[in-house]
Structure formats: structure tokens, C-alpha cells
Structure 1
Amino acid sequence: MVLIKIDRVKNFLNFFHQLELSWQIYSLLLIYIIIMLTAFVLKIEIGILLLLLLIAIFIFIYYYTNRFVSRIKMIANQLAKDIIVVNEKVYDNSVIGILLYDQDHRLSWGNSLANSIINYKNAVGQKLEDINPDLMTIIETIDKEWQVITYNEKHYRVSHDVNSRAIYWIEFENEYNIQQQYKNNRIVYGYLLLDDFDEVVQSLDDQEASNFDADLINELNIWAQQQDVYIKRIEDDKFILLLNVKTLEKLENQKFKYFSEIREKYYARNIPISMSIGIAYSTDDKVKINRLAKEAQMNLDLALGRGGDQVVVKMDEEPARFYGGDTNPTEKRTNTRSKLVYQALINQIDQASNVIISGHKYPDMDSLSSALGIYKIATERRKLAKIIINESTFNTDIKNLLNSPQISYNLKNIFIDSETAKTYLNPKTLLILVDHHRPSLSEAEQLFVYGLNIVVIDHHRRSEEFPKQTVLTYIETTASSTSELITEFFMNVRNDSEPVNRFEATALLAGIIVDTNNFSMRTGSRTFDAASYLKSRGADTEQIQRMLQEDLLEVKKRNQLIERTEFYDSVYAITQSESGLPIDNVTAAQAADGMLSLTHVEAAFVIFQRTMTSIGISARSLGKINVQKIMESLGGGGHLSNAAAQLENITVDEAKDLLLQAINQNK
């Protein structure tokens, strides 16, 4: 009997100690005992009553402990069962889909919403990759952070808990559609310019000009109405375009083909009209319309700098997207413009304390010759001038030029490397870039951080990468070479006391000859005018021929490249050098020129090993295929029919794969 009583007391105490309120009850009991003892001292009758009450409580607890504990446990068990049932119902009917999987990536459980999302019968026990490969992608790429994904053509927010091996889903279709609608309705601002509009109108009589203008405006209005674009004429040759992102995406999917069609329509009527468009938009909901207008104008300027007849689309700081530009621009250069640019150049040189001249990396004849021409102009203005070069990258023809017996000055006093150039810098130093405009391609790449005033003289189509602090820009894409542009400067100042000497004339003519492939490519009437002037100044064509003589080994390399030619889509000729066998730029370019003479070839590409860590691609075209856009896809640039790119830390075979991707993207 005593054991039973002891067990009963122990059971009560064990249960009591499991309660989180045990210490509070002990505290109350202690206070009660203190009060009771105080009562015994002050008034014994009250103390006895309090003692009897305490004994009664203990007797009650003693006799009813088991019943009380059993009742509590029964209530707790029932509550636990109810909670499990409620949890199962909550999980199963939750607005959050839940999928659980085991260590073998087999589905172990899913609630109703998750099962409806994966839409797979008898999914429990199946491997996730068998149910849908996207489930494995979720496990491999998504962590606890919620991400929006597309699954079975619907949109969900998904979170993945690696520790509990659970995937959580929230339906996001309605919110996604609202976001897309909001995104699609963002404003897009653009400018449309009619290329050479004044010249075209002047070539027509009054009636023809009036009919042409009315017909063209009607065409544009019909197009704008069909495409849901607002168009407003603000000048004779300029229009404002307002549209939304959804319309822009549709036009981009069409590659703005309407403007090529309208150009062809008027070309068939002997009216050479084309259009250049600059478009800007932003993801910033608070963007101001003035900012979009400025960016659209900058994009229009970029389109014009690339030769016109194209569309430039740009969003915020993302790379620009180009459409069109598949025709050679008409020659608009005049003696007046050349004189004005020359005078502006002289003013900049006069205001400078000294002049640093830079061609592009891996210089060719045009780059070095035009640099020597600018050096001549700067020294005639009595300014200290230096040319940045890297002698280790010289081709054979450059070395032959610099060893010419006609040189009348010490080249060691002219040429410096980029590190030495830093010692010549001060706030009034003028940096002149010739035959290039992209800082990343410049021999003076390290100098752009110094905030120098910059002059750009180039004949390549303008790229998005451009120096920020230019005080003078002269880019003429219709010129055969930068040497031609520099020669025109001398042609316009014939009364100067010191015209170009024989060496300088020979160098400039060599630059023209190399860039035009002996006057067979990109050659206009002004090219021959420049060549005629240089010949009159003593340019030695025999010396040029000697400079351009090739080593037998280089000829063999070029012929081997041509022999390795493969065809892609019938009109693309592609060849590649042997891995690890370095080939210079000139040999690669000559091989590309030679491949153009092959039957049915419209574009030729030579992939070659420049150095042990870099691959070069030389591209040529007969005009139907824009190789500049293809090379820009690979980080290069150039002209519609003559372009190049340089790739780092890849193999020749990998470069070929990238080239094929770029060709397919630009078809």
C-alpha cells in the first residue's frame, strides 16, 4: 500500500515537473507557507485554518492525481490527432504547392496543388527527372530564395529547401501577366531621319519632289497606323516616333524589314532614299521623357556614324542592338567639310601643350601612315608630338617602311611606348586617335583614364564603344582609308611652306593601297584624287611595291589557308590555320581577299592564330553580306565588306564555332 502511494506521488511530481508553470507554483506555495507561519505567530486560529486548507488541497491532489493526469493525456492525444488532421488538410489545400523527395531524387509526397502543377499520374516513387527534367533543374539551380520560373508553359514562384528536400510552388501566372502588361506598355522614344533627303529632293523637279514627299509620308503614316506607332514630322527629314515595348519587340522580331522594303521600292524608281532610326527606352518607371529623347538622338547619331540606313535600339546601359546597315553609304564628303575639319584640328593642336598620336593595336600600313601624317601637321604647328607604338607587333611591311632610305628624321625621337607616353601627359595634352575609335583597340588604351581631350579621325563604322571626352570627331565611312582623309588635309593647304615630303607621301599612298587592296575595294573618285596628289609629291610606287613584297613562307601560308577552305550555306567560305601556328594579320587578310574570288562565295572568313593566347578572324564580303555585323557579334568591327575580330584564350576550333553562331544570328 505504501509503494502504491509513493508511485502515485512520483507520477504526480513527474507530471508536475513537465509543466512549464512548475516554478511559478513552487513560488506560490512558498509564499503561502510564509503567510501561514506568520498567521501562527500573530493569530494561531487563522494559521490553523490555513494549514487545514493546505492539507485539504494535498489530499485532493493525492486522490485525484491519476484521474487528472489521464484526462490531460487523453485531451493532449486528441488534440495531437486533430492537429495532424488539420495540418494534412491545410497542406493538401494550401495555396502553396509542396513536393517532397528523398535522397535518390524520387518523389515521396506532394499536396494537391503540387500534383496538379507537375501533372503526372502515379508520381510518388518516380524519379524527378523522369517526371520532368525541369524539376532537376530547379533542385540544381534554385535555393531558398524565391525565383520566377516557367514550368509547363505557366509561371510560378519557386523555392527549394535543400535540408528538408522540399520544393515550394506559388502560382504566379496572374501577377506575371500584369507585370508583362505593365512592361509592354512602357514608353519607347525614337527619331527617324531620311538619309540624304535634301540631295534626293534637289535631284528631282518640283512636281516629282512634291509627289515623292507626299507618297513617302503616306507610306510612313500607313506603316505607323498598322504597327500602332505614333509618328510626327518635326523637320523636313526628321520624325519623332512614340511606341511601347510590345510594339518594339514585334518590330525587332521583324528586324525592321519594312525600312529595307521601302528603300528597295524607291531605289527601283531611281530615288536613293533610306532611313536611319535611333530608339531608346528604359526599365526605370520614373524615367523622364527628356532623357529618352537625348538617348534616342545619341542612338541616331550612332546609326549615322555607322553609315546610316540602319536602326539602333538601346535600353539603359545594355549593349545597343543594330538592324539594317546592309548597303554601302553614298559618298557625302566634300572639300568644304575636309577644310572645316582640318581647321578645327589645327585649333585643337594650337591650344594643346603637346600631342600624343595613337593608332590601333597590331598596326597596319594605314594606321602608321596616318599617324605619321598627323605628326607632320602637329610639328608644323611647332608642337611636341609623339606616336605610341609597340614595335613587337610590327608586320613585315611596316618594318620595310620604317627602314626606307627616304626617311629624313630620326624615328627614335618620334616613337614611344604607352608607359613612356604617361610621362608626357599634362592637363593640356591632346590625344589624337587615327584609324580607330574604340579605346579597347587603341595603343593608348592606358591613357583614357587621364581625362585628356581626344580627337578621332577614322574611316571605320562607328561602334557603341567610343571615347567620352572627344573634342573633334571625323569619321568618314565612305573613305577608303584614314590615309586618304589625312592626305586631303594636305591637299587643302597647298600654300603651306612645308608640304609632305617623299617619305610621308610614300607612306600615305602605301596606306591607301593596302586598305583598298590595290584600288580594288572601297575606292571612290576622291581616293584617286588623293593618290594623284601623293604621286605629285614624290610618292614612290616602286618603293611601295618593294615594301609589300612577301616572304615565300608567308605566300605558302596564305595558299595553305585558301586550300583549307570549307563552305557553309554555299556562300560563306571559311578557313582556319593550324592550331599553334602563328600567322600575321596581313597574310590572313590577303587569304580572305583571295577566297572572295572563289565561285559563288559572297563572304570569306579566315580564322588564325595571332599569338599563343589570341585568335584573329579576318572577314571580307562582296557587299551582299554585312561582315561588320558578324564581327561585332564577336566583339570586333570594321566595314560592311571588310571587318575583323580578336578573341582571347580560346582555340581555333572554338573560334570557328563562335563564328558559325554569329553567322546564323545575322542571317
Structure 2
Amino acid sequence: MVLIKLDRIKNFLRFFHQLELSWQIYSLLLIYIIIMLIAFVLKFEIGILLLLLLIAIFVFIYYYTNRFVSRIKMIANQLAKDIKVVNENVYDNSAIGILLYDQNHRLSWGNSLANSIINYKNAVGQKLEDINPDLMTIIETIDKEWQVITYNEKHYRVSHDVNSRAIYWIEFENEYNIQQQYKNNRIVYGYLLLDDFDEVVQSLNDQEASNFDADLINELNNWAQQQDIYIKRIEDDKFLLLLNVKTLGKLENQKFKYFSEIREKYYARNIPISMSIGIAYSTDDKVKINRLAKEAQMNLDLALGRGGDQVVVKMDEEPARFYGGDTNPTEKRTNTRSKLVYQALINQIDQASNVIISGHKYPDMDSLSSALGIYKIATERRKLAKIIINESTFNTDIKNLLNSPQISYNLKNIFIDSETAKTHLNPKTLLILVDHHRPSLSEAEQLLVYGPNIVVIDHHRRSEEFPKQTVLTYIETTASSTSELVTEFFMNVRNDSEPVNRFEATALLAGIIVDTNNFSMRTGSRTFDAASYLKSRGADTEQIQRMLQEDLLDVKKRNQLIERTEFFDSVYAITQSESGLPIDNVTAAQAADGMLSLTHVEAAFVIFQRTMTSIGISARSLGKINVQKIMESLGGGGHLSNAAAQLENTTVDEAKELLLQAINQSK
């Protein structure tokens, strides 16, 4: 009996101590005892009553402890059952899909929503990758952060808890559609320019010009109405375009083919009209319309700098996207423009304290020859001038040029490396880039970060990468070479002194000959005018022929490249050098030129080991295929029919795969 009573007391105390209120009750009991003791001292009868009350409470607790504890346990058990049922209902009917898997990536459990999402009936125990490979992708790529994914053509927010091996899903279709609608309705700002509109109109009589103008405007208005675009003529040859992102997406999917169609339509009527378009938009909801207008104008300028007849689309700081540009621009240069640029150039030289001239990395004959021509102009203005070079990258023809017996000055006083060039920099230094405009391709790349005044003289189509501190830009994509542009500067000099000596004339003519492949490519009437002028100044064609003589080993390398030619889609000829066998870019370019003579070939690509860590690709085209766009997708550039790219830290075979992907994307 005593043991039963002791057990009852122990059970009560154990239960009591489990309560979070136990210390409060002990405190009240202590206060009660203190009050009772005080009552005994002050009023003995009251103390007796308080003591009897305390004894009665303990007796009540003693006799009703088991019943009280049992009742509490019964309530707790019932509550636990209710909570379990509620939890099961909550998890199973939750608006969040829950999917559990074990350590072997086998499905353990999923609630109703998860079942409807992945349709995993009778799949418990199966591997996730067998149910759907996308489930393994989620596990491998998604962490606790909620991410939006597309699964079975629907959109969900998904979170993955690695520790509990659980995937949580929230349906996001409605919200996604609202977001997409909002994004699709963002404003897109554009400018459309009619290339050579004034020249075209002047070539027509009044009636023909009026009919052409009315017909063209009607064509553009009909197109704009069909595409839900606002179009407004703001100048004779310029239009404002307002559209949204959704419409822009449709036009990009079509690759803006309408403008090729309208060009062909008017070309068939002997009206050579084409269009250049610059388009800008932003993901920033607070973007100002003035900013979009400026960016659209910059994109239009970029399209024109690349030869026109193309569309440039750019969003914020992302790379520009190019469409069109598949025709060679007509020659539009005039003596007046060349004279104005020359005058602006000598003004910049006169204002400078010194001049630094830079060609591109791995220089060719055109790069070095045009640099020598600019050096001549700078020294004629009595300015200290230097040319940045890297002798370790010289090809045989460059070495032959600099070893020419006709050279009339000490080369050590002309050439410096890029590190030495830094010591020549000051706030008034003028840096002139010739035969290139991309900072990443420049021998003066390290100098550009110091922010000198920059002049660009180039004949390659302008790329998005461009120096920011230019004070003069002269890019003529219709010129055969930069040597041709520099030669025209000398043709504009009006004084009694000889503008160029025999060595300089020979060097400039060599630059033209190499870049035109002996006047067979990209050659216009002004090319022959420049060559004629240089010949009159003593250019030695026999010396040029000696400079361009090839080593027998290089000839064998070129022929081996041509022998390894493979055909892709019948019109693409592709060859590659042996891995680990370095080939210079001149040999590769000559091989590409030779491959163009093969039957049915429209474009030729030579993939070659330039150095042990870099791969070069030389591209040539007969004009129907734009190899510039293909090379740009690989980080290179050039002309529609003559382009190149350089890939770092890759192999020849990997470069070939990248090239094939670029060709497929360009179609």
C-alpha cells in the first residue's frame, strides 16, 4: 500500500515537473507558506486555517492525481491523432507539391499535387531518372532558393532541400503568363534609315522618284500595320519605329527577312535601295525613353559602320545581335570625305605632344604598311612618333619588308613594344589605331586603359567592341585595305615635297596587293587609283614579289591544308591543320583563298594551330555567304567575304565543332 502511494506521488511529481508552469507554482507555494508563517505569529487562528487549507489541497491532489493525469494523457493522445490527420490532409492537399526520395534517388513519397505534376502513380521505389530525367537535373542544379523551371511544358517554382531529400513545387503558370505578358509589352525603340536614298532619288527623273517614294512608303506602312508597329517618317531617309518586345521577337525569329525581300524587289527594278535599322530596348522598368532613343541611334550608327543593309538589336549591356548585312556595300567614298578626314587627322596630330601608332596583333602587310604611312604623316608635322610592334609575331613577308634595301631610316628609332610605349604616354598623347578597331585585337590594348585620345583608321566592318575615347573615326568598309585609305591621304597633300619615298610607296602597295589577293578581291576603282599613285612614286613591284616569296615548307603546308579539305552542305569547304603543328596566318589565309577555287565552294574555312595555346580560323567567301557573321559568333570579325577568328585554350578538333555550330546558326 505504501509503495502504491509512493508511486502515485512520484507519478504526480514527474508529470508536474513536465509542465512549463512548475516553477511558477513552486513560487506561489513558497509565498503561501511565508504568509501562513506570518499568520501564525500575528494571528494563530488564521495560521491554523491556512494550514488546514493547504492540507486539504494536498489531500485533494493526492486522491485525484491518477484521474487527472489519465485525463490529460487521453486529451494529449486525441490531440496527437487529430494533428496527424490534419498534417496528412495538409501535406496531401497542400498547394505545394512535395516529393521525397531516398539516398539512392528512388521515389519515396509524394503528395497529390506532386502526383499531378510528374504523374508518378505506381512509381514509388523507382529511380527519379527513370520517371523523368528532368528530376535528376533539378536535384543536381537547384538548391533551397526558389527557381522558375519549365517541366512538361508548364512553369513551376521549385526548391530542393538536400538534407531532407525533398523537392517542393509551386504552380507558377498564371504568374508566369502575367510576367511574360508584361515583358512582351515593354517598349522597343528603333530607327530605320534608307541607305543611299539621296543617290537613288537623284538617279531617277521626277516622276520616277515620286512614284518610287510613294511606293516605298506604302510598302513600309503596310508592313508596319501587319506587324503592329508604329512608323513615322522624321526625315526624307529616316523613320522612327515603336513596337513591343513580342513583335520584336517575331521579327527576330524571321531574321528580318522582309527587308531582304524589299531590297530584292527594288533591285529587280534597277533601284539599289536597302535599309539599315538600329533597335534598342531594356529590361529596366524605369528606363527613360531618351536613353532608348540614344541607344537606338548608336545601334543605327553601328549598322552603318558595318556597311549598312542590316539590323542591329541591342538590349541594355548585352551583346548586340546582327541580322542581314549579306551584300557587299557599294563604293561611296569621295575625295572630299578623304580630304576632310585627312585635315581632321593632321589637326589632331598638331594638337598632340607625341603620336603612338598601333596595328593589330599578329600584324599583316596592310597593318604594318599603313602604320608606316601614318608615321610618315606624323613626322612631316614634326611630331615624335612611334609604332608599337611585337617582333616575335612577324611573318616572313613582314621581316622581308623591314630588311628591304630601300629602307631610308633606322628602324630602332621607330618601333617600340607595348611596355615601352607606356613610358611615352601623357595627357596629350595621340594614339592612332590602323587596320583594326577592336581593343582586344590591338597591340596597344594595355595603353587603352589610360584613356589617351584615339584615332581609328580601318576598313573592316565595325564591331560592337570599340574604343570609347575616339576623337576621330575613319572606317570605310568599301576600301580594299587600310593602306589604300592612307595612300589617299598622301594623294591629298598639296606641297612641293615628296609625300612618300620609294620604300613607303612600296610598303603601301604591298599592303594593298596582299589584302586584295593581287587585286582579285574587294577591289574598286579607287584601289587602282591608289595603286597607280604609289607606282608613280616609285613603288617597286619586283621588290614586292620578292618580299612575298614563300618558303618551300610553307608551300607544302598550304597544299597539305587544301588536301585535307572536307565539304559541309556542299558549299562549305573546311580544313584543319595537324594538332600541335603551328602555321602562320598568311599560309592559312592563302590556303583559304585557294579552296575558293574548288568547284561549288562558296565559303572556305581553315582551322590552324596558331600557337601552342591558341587556334586561328581564316575564312573566305565568294560573296553569297557572310563569313564575317560566322566569325563574329566565334569572337572574330572582318568583312563579308574575308574574316578571321582566334580561339584561346582549345584544340583544333574543338574549334571545328564550334565552327560547324556557328555555320548552322548562321543559316
TM-score tier (shorter): over 0.9
Deviation of 1:397 (Å):
0.2
Q: Per-residue displacement from partner, 1:564-615 (whole Å, max 9, x unpaired)? A: 0000000000000000000001000000000000000000000000000000
Distance 1:20 1:477, change over 3 A: same
Q: Per-residue displacement from partner, 1:608-639 (whole Å, max 9, x unpaired)? A: 00000000000000000000000000000000
Q: Superposed, which structure 2 residues align to 1:244-393 within 5 Å?
A: 244-393=244-393
Unaligned runs of 5+ in 1: none
Q: Give the Cα–Cα distance (whole angstroms) in 1 for the partners of residues 472 and 498 of structure 2.
A: 25
Deviation of 1:123 (Å):
2.3
Q: Per-residue displacement from partner, 1:94-144 (whole Å, max 9, x unpaired)? A: 111111111111111111111111123212222211111111111111110
The residue that corresponds to 1:115 in the other structure is: 115
Unaligned runs of 5+ in 2: none
The 3-state SS of whatever aligns with 2:423 is: helix
Q: Give the Cα–Cα distance (whole angstroms) in 2 for the partners of residues 156 and 597 of structure 1.
A: 55
Distance 1:91 1:496, change over 3 A: farther
Q: Per-residue displacement from partner, 1:10-49 (whole Å, max 9, x unpaired)? A: 1111111111111111111111100100100010111000
Structure 1 outlier segments of 4+, above 4 Å: none
The residue that corresponds to 1:551 in the other structure is: 551
Q: Give the Cα–Cα distance (whole angstroms) in 2 for the partners of residues 127 and 489 of structure 1.
A: 74
Q: Give the Cα–Cα distance (whole angstroms) in 2 for the partners of residues 242 and 229 of structure 1.
A: 6
Q: Per-residue displacement from partner, 1:299-335 (whole Å, max 9, x unpaired)? A: 0000000000000000000000000000000100000
Q: Superposed, which structure 2 residues align to 1:90-239 within 5 Å?
A: 90-239=90-239
Q: Give the Cα–Cα distance (whole angstroms) in 2 for the partners of residues 133 and 193 of structure 1.
A: 49
Q: Give the Cα–Cα distance (whole angstroms) in 2 for the partners of residues 160 and 650 of structure 1.
A: 35
Distance 1:4 1:120, change over 3 A: closer
Q: Give the Cα–Cα distance (whole angstroms) in 2 for the partners of residues 75 and 496 of structure 1.
A: 116
Deviation of 1:90 (Å):
1.0
Q: Give the Cα–Cα distance (whole angstroms) in 2 for the partners of residues 300 and 361 of structure 1.
A: 29
The residue that corresponds to 2:397 in the other structure is: 397
The 3-state SS of whatever aligns with 1:176 is: helix
Q: Give the Cα–Cα distance (whole angstroms) in 1 for the partners of residues 611 and 166 of structure 2.
A: 51
Deviation of 1:498 (Å):
3.4
Q: Give the Cα–Cα distance (whole angstroms) in 2 for the partners of residues 659 and 426 of structure 1.
A: 42
Q: Give the Cα–Cα distance (whole angstroms) in 1 for the partners of residues 626 and 420 of structure 2.
A: 39
Deviation of 1:496 (Å):
4.6
The 3-state SS of whatever aligns with 1:450 is: coil
Q: Per-residue displacement from partner, 1:397-416 (whole Å, max 9, x unpaired)? A: 00000000111100000000
Deviation of 1:336 (Å):
0.3
Q: Which stretch shifts more, 104-113 or 391-400? A: 104-113
Q: Give the Cα–Cα distance (whole angstroms) in 2 for the partners of residues 411 and 127 of structure 1.
A: 72
Deviation of 1:494 (Å):
4.1
Q: Give the Cα–Cα distance (whole angstroms) in 2 for the partners of residues 498 and 76 of structure 1.
A: 110
Give identity over the alignment, percent.
96
Q: Give the Cα–Cα distance (whole angstroms) in 2 for the partners of residues 561 and 99 of structure 1.
A: 57
Q: Give the Cα–Cα distance (whole angstroms) in 1 for the partners of residues 3 and 606 of structure 2.
A: 101
Deviation of 1:495 (Å):
2.3
Deviation of 1:258 (Å):
0.3
Q: Per-residue displacement from partner, 1:143-200 (whole Å, max 9, x unpaired)? A: 1000001111110101111111111111100000000000000000000000000000
Q: Give the Cα–Cα distance (whole angstroms) in 1 for the partners of residues 84 and 495 of structure 2.
A: 102
Q: Give the Cα–Cα distance (whole angstroms) in 2 for the partners of residues 586 and 107 of structure 1.
A: 61
Q: Which stretch shifts more, 521-530 or 120-129? A: 120-129
Deviation of 1:250 (Å):
0.1
Q: Give the Cα–Cα distance (whole angstroms) in 2 for the partners of residues 299 and 289 of structure 1.
A: 15
Q: Give the Cα–Cα distance (whole angstroms) in 2 for the partners of residues 37 and 4 of structure 1.
A: 32
Q: Per-residue displacement from partner, 1:475-509 (whole Å, max 9, x unpaired)? A: 00000000000000000114252310000000000
Q: Which stretch shifts more, 463-472 or 118-127? A: 118-127
Deviation of 1:557 (Å):
0.3
Distance 1:49 1:496, change over 3 A: farther
The 3-state SS of whatever aligns with 2:449 is: helix
Q: Give the Cα–Cα distance (whole angstroms) in 1 for the partners of residues 331 and 435 of structure 2.
A: 18
Distance 1:496 1:63, change over 3 A: farther
Count how many residue pairs are aligned between Structure 1 and Structure 2: 667
Q: Give the Cα–Cα distance (whole angstroms) in 1 for the partners of residues 449 and 630 of structure 2.
A: 30
Q: Per-residue displacement from partner, 1:421-474 (whole Å, max 9, x unpaired)? A: 000010000000000000000000000111100000000000000000000000
Q: Give the Cα–Cα distance (whole angstroms) in 1 for the partners of residues 496 and 587 of structure 2.
A: 39
Q: Give the Cα–Cα distance (whole angstroms) in 2 for the partners of residues 566 and 112 of structure 1.
A: 56
Deviation of 1:267 (Å):
0.3
The residue that corresponds to 2:480 in the other structure is: 480
Distance 1:13 1:410, change over 3 A: same
Q: Give the Cα–Cα distance (whole angstroms) in 1 for the partners of residues 120 and 144 of structure 2.
A: 25
The 3-state SS of whatever aligns with 1:658 is: helix
Deviation of 1:663 (Å):
0.3
Q: Give the Cα–Cα distance (whole angstroms) in 1 for the partners of residues 98 and 324 of structure 2.
A: 50
The 3-state SS of whatever aligns with 1:94 is: coil
Q: Give the Cα–Cα distance (whole angstroms) in 1 for the partners of residues 496 and 84 of structure 2.
A: 100
Q: Superposed, which structure 2 residues align to 1:12-23 within 5 Å?
A: 12-23=12-23
Q: Give the Cα–Cα distance (whole angstroms) in 1 for the partners of residues 276 and 103 of structure 2.
A: 59
Q: Give the Cα–Cα distance (whole angstroms) in 1 for the partners of residues 119 and 16 of structure 2.
A: 52
Q: Could you state the TM-score of these two structures normalised by the residue count of structure 2?
A: 1.00
Q: Which stretch shifts more, 16-25 or 571-580? A: 16-25
Distance 1:437 1:390, change over 3 A: same
Q: Give the Cα–Cα distance (whole angstroms) in 2 for the partners of residues 137 and 79 of structure 1.
A: 41
The 3-state SS of whatever aligns with 2:498 is: coil
Q: Give the Cα–Cα distance (whole angstroms) in 1 for the partners of residues 618 and 471 of structure 2.
A: 32
Q: Which stretch shifts more, 499-508 or 93-102? A: 93-102
Q: Give the Cα–Cα distance (whole angstroms) in 2 for the partners of residues 527 and 77 of structure 1.
A: 98
Q: Provide the aligned C-alpha RMSD in A.
A: 0.6
The residue that corresponds to 2:41 in the other structure is: 41
The 3-state SS of whatever aligns with 2:225 is: helix
Q: Give the Cα–Cα distance (whole angstroms) in 1 for the partners of residues 45 and 498 of structure 2.
A: 134
